[in-house]
A and B are shown apart, each in its own frame.
Chain A
Amino acid sequence: MSSETRFIDFKSDKQPTWCPGCGDFGTMNGMMKALANTGNDPDNTFVVAGIGCSGKIGTYMHSYALHGVHGRALPVGTGVKMANPDLEVMVAGGDGDGYSIGAGHFVHAVRRNVDMSYVVMDNRIYGLTKGQASPTSREDFETATTPEGPKQPPVNPLALALSAGGTFIAQSFASDAQRHAELVQEAIEHDGFGFVNVFSPCVTFNDTDTYDYFRDNLTDLAETDHDPSDFDQAKDRIMDPDGEYQGILYQDEDSVPYHEAHGVTEDMTEIPDGAPENATDLVREFY
């Protein structure tokens, strides 16, 4: 691990094909900065990406990476981290990947509290399939598949995380580059599952949740008296139907990550040339 690692080292030579102005550019830059700032380098970092515009991130970043199937990025990251706790594991996804097809895994990853970070590019739309409602789309958001809007309330990912026992719950805005990078860095440094929901506007298919909308409506919790260690305050902010917040909503300072709770601290990747020493004990058990 080199102290001279710069964020550019995490960039691959592949040019992103995201639409010009896509929030995912800013989201990815912040991820790379946060990785570099925390002393990681591409050879000890594992990025897992799912499917959707967000899923392309594994291609545009340079690190060990797996671009998996739709919605299952968190279980992959979980396996990577357990097998080699020395790796820095970052899982990236979108609102469809994480809160629709992967919602089940999201809740369980939160409660498992594996020491990794999860960055969700939430644009409140399905962009790669050209503009259908996502689980975070507004109730009246009209799309080709929901001509009168979804007519159901959007998923509140922060509330899901809080109710599942989340130990680090943050939200950022792709356009506020510095704050976004800081928050992802905090998620990496957190002892446990560091979750950051990133407002990452889709400039092509979402004319409601735009850069301007977030600039006008976002409150930075750092500029308020919000205490992230206070569960009740976090609950009030998260359940506030009118507020859009940036910052750490909740952080459990006593978080015990999975590997500590379960004693999973060994690198599992090195094995002997034959059966493990004492393997014959296993046979004797059956006498």
Chain B
Amino acid sequence: MPADFNWAIGGEAGDGIDSTGKIFARALSRAGRHVFTSKDFASRIRGGYTAYKVRTAVDQVESTVDRLDVLIALTQRTVDENIDELHEGSVIIYDGERTSMQDLEIPDEMVGMDVPLKSLAEEAGGAIMRNIVALGAACEVTDFPIEHLASSLEKRFSDKGQSIVENNKTAAELGAEHVRENYETESAEFEYELETTDEDYVLINGDEAIGMGAIAAGCRFYSGYPITPATDVMEYLTGRLEHYGGHVVQAEDELSAINMALGAARAGARSMTATSGPGIDLMSETFGLVAQSETPLVICDVMRSGPSTGMPTKQEQGDLDMTLFGGHGEIPRFVLAPTTISECFWKTVEAFNLAEKYQTPVYLVSDLEMAVTEQTFPPEAFDMDEVEIDRGKLVDEDEIDEWLDDEGRFRAHAATEDGISPRAKPGTTDGAHMSTGLEHNELGRRTEDTEIRVEQVDKRQRKVETAREREDWTPREFGNTDADNLVVSWGSNEGTIVEAMDLMGEDDPEFRFLSVPYLFPRPDLSEAFEAAEQVVVVECNATGQFADVLEHDTLQRVDRVNKYNGVGFKADELADEITEVLQ
């Protein structure tokens, strides 16, 4: 019996698939099991179909695989879409009373369980609970104690009243009972038994981790414009940020969102906005101003498939070039890309510190898969005591004197040795000054003086060089350091590559894996490249944007593994691809 168990529910949009999936994921998490969820995308693109997959194990799970052990199929199509992932002994739970499911054919080697979901739900109090009946049935099949499901239902429905909670618990119980009474033999033979532990886990997605990281880091102002898949950052912060003395504004567009955030940052608040590629296009207008006016700002790009409207609900890491090079002129910046969901939290904290220490915009680049994946972590993964705040060279009324010129004017853009100028919050006595997108002198006054122009450009670029020296840009390392082969990736592929490594057998080529969260400045990989016989760069885009910059950095050619069909890498598929490239 494999250590992991894979479950899914599929149906039509509007069937409550996501909500049901989350309830089951939470039940597993509350039972002390690790969980990794994914939205299962249709292989044949056609409207309507949606599915939610849950992979669970006692140990941490970092990715998804192409295997299904129990499937709740609300439609015939759900079975058709997943037939390749089902295997001998897989259980398919369906409602045979549903007209469209009456002719369902289940392959002989699989177990079909006909559960009257709708009728039992009505018995419990309403047809709307049919998915909960199915969850109850799934608990019985997997020998999973139903009280954990009850606990998850409690969390989900408690704000709707105790009678709703009780009805849902009854619905789950009726589903379990039906399986017990009608499929006793089959369920007893089912090879999975979902054991529980006493651990408490946090179940969180990437957007929520970014939002929580922002609050932890002292972010007080958020302005945004709804866009898939970044909206959950704003929805998470709404109502919570207020509780910590901040505020969330839904702006009229992304142009306004970034300018509001810029205004709040100029006022001295830690401030951020989040969007996806199309919003980054609009925000690029102001991005240069943020850098030119030396304003600390965190701009989060939760990437989705582009260009233009592209495939708005599909995965892609296509915005690397945009975040590294976007905007007219030469714009100093930092670009961070968290590599796991828990790192979404920590990189957000780091982004705020970098922004304020260097008075420079920071792109925080996440992606759709991290945004929609719920994953479990031990609570220590988000240890708030570990959060450190560094506001950089923020000067108060006592310190400001040393930054005034002979005429008492504040040198807000003083060309210092490390490039970092003092920053005075509005309200600070004697600190009044203007900052501008125009080239300016140290007082913030417009200039076209050739020497001052060079001095100010150099000063702003010097901040990046200072950061390169002072901060730690080390990549995350996995596998055998001495292996002949090197695999490099960025962003959310880390977990999948680590798992692919585990899946590869002794006969497969061994490799060292560097997962790079720092895209600019980025670590110098020259030595690692020289030491390797072969270098493979894995990323979810068509052209190999990261591979391009690494070739440029190291003056060495790399092999590329790319995927851009809208679906992220899966561990088993990636293991095969890496093996093929390395052989």
Contacts and interface: CB of A to CB of B under 8 A. Distances in A.
A124 to B, nearest CB: 25
Interface in A239-276: 262-264, 266, 268-269, 271-276
Interface stretch (A19-27, A76-84, A145-153): A76-84
Nearest to A276: B244
A69 interface: yes
B221 A280 contact: no
Interface stretch (B55-63, B189-197, B248-256, B330-338): B248-256
For the residues of A in contact with B, the DSSP-based class is mixed
B216 A275 contact: yes
A64 B433 CA distance: 5
B580 to A, nearest CB: 39
A17 B251 CA distance: 35
A43 B427 contact: yes
B490 to A, nearest CB: 26
5 contacts: A67-B437, A72-B256, A77-B263, A104-B252, A105-B256
Interface string A34-53: 00000000111111100000
Interface in B27-70: 29-30
A108 interface: yes
A75 B259 CA distance: 5
Interface string B390-434: 010000000000000001000000000000000001111111111
A155 interface: no
A157 B437 CA distance: 27
Given A80-B264, A269-B269, A272-B218, A66 B285 contact: no
B223 interface: yes
B270 to A, nearest CB: 6
B431 A43 contact: yes
Given A269-B269, A287-B200, A79 B379 contact: no
B247 to A, nearest CB: 5
B215 A75 contact: no
A76 B257 CA distance: 9
B435 A67 contact: yes
- Most B Cβ at <10 Å: residue of A87, A107, A275, A287: A275
Interface string B203-231: 11000100010011110110100000000
A105 B435 CA distance: 21
A279 interface: yes
A180 interface: no
A44 B428 CA distance: 8
Contacts of A280: 384
Contacts of B223: 75, 79
Contacts of A273: 388-389
A279 to B, nearest CB: 4
Given A75-B256, A78-B249, A82-B249, 13 more contacts: A64-B266, A64-B433, A67-B435, A68-B289, A78-B260, A87-B267, A87-B426, A268-B246, A269-B220, A271-B220, A271-B389, A272-B218, A282-B212
B438 interface: yes
Given A65-B435, A69-B285, A271-B218, A83 B445 contact: no
A127 interface: no
B299 to A, nearest CB: 14
A103 to B, nearest CB: 11
A275 B436 contact: no
Contacts of A87: 267, 426-427
Interface of A: 13-14, 42-48, 58-59, 62-69, 71-72, 75-84, 86-87, 104-105, 107-108, 262-264, 266, 268-269, 271-276, 279-280, 282-284, 286-287
Contact of A286 (B203, B253, B264, B426): B203
B5 interface: no
A75 B286 CA distance: 12
A7 B135 CA distance: 72
Nearest to A88: B426
A75 B216 contact: no
Given A43-B428, A66-B435, A271-B220, A79 B265 contact: yes
Contact of B245 (A65, A266, A274): A266
Given A79-B263, A79-B267, A275 B432 contact: no
Nearest 8 CB-CB pairs, A to B?
Answer: A79-B263, A269-B268, A271-B218, A268-B220, A75-B259, A83-B267, A67-B436, A83-B269
Contacts of B264: 79-80, 82-83, 268
Contacts of A66: 262-263, 266, 293, 434-436
A86 B271 CA distance: 18
A271 B223 CA distance: 19
A83 B212 CA distance: 19
Contact of A276 (B218, B242, B247, B433): B218
A283 B425 contact: no
A46 B267 contact: yes
B201 interface: yes
Nearest to B289: A69
A78 B30 CA distance: 43
